């Protein structure tokens, strides 16, 4: 997956939020602007080309308020970016760089 394509979708407001994503980011205290910032300034750390219904990826970035690491799972259908979920990664599942799974 190409991060530039996802960024282009963000710039043109072609972002679709799943009900799950909207609910989970609210529960986790993550703002929509943090999700967009993650896509606009972050990097893809895992690629899921066979995900259904669209290929997706895991993006590493930071929130804007306190520079905390945020992960965003996003799908792409060639026209729109789909926000699947976003979370603050835990050190139980990721190494200290929060990019590498244990």
Residue 13 pLDDT: 96
The domain in which residue 71 lies consists of 3-87
Of residues 1 and 56, more confidence is placed in 56
Q: Residue 81 maps to which CATH number?
A: 3.30.2310
* Residue 67 binned pLDDT confidence (cut-offs 50, 70, 90): confident
What is the count of structural domains for the chain?
A: 1
The pTM (predicted TM-score) of the whole model is: 0.95
Pairing type for strands 81-87 and 15-17 reads parallel
- Give CA–CA dist 75/84, Å, rounded: 7
Residue 35 contacts residue 18 (beta carbons within 8 Å)? no
Residue 66 pLDDT: 85
Q: What is the pLDDT of residues 15-35, one digit of tens each?
A: 999 999 999 999 999 999 999
């Amino acid at each position: 997956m190409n991060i530039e394509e996802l960024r282009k979708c963000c710039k043109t407001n072609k972002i679709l939020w799943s009900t799950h994503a909207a609910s989970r980011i609210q529960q986790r205290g993550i703002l929509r602007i943090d999700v967009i910032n993650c896509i606009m300034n972050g990097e893809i750390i895992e690629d899921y080309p066979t995900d259904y219904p669209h290929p997706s990826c895991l993006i590493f970035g930071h929130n804007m308020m306190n520079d905390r690491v945020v992960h965003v799972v996003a799908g792409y259908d060639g026209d729109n970016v789909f926000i699947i979920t976003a979370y603050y990664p835990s050190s139980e599942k990721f190494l200290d760089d929060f990019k590498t799974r244990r």
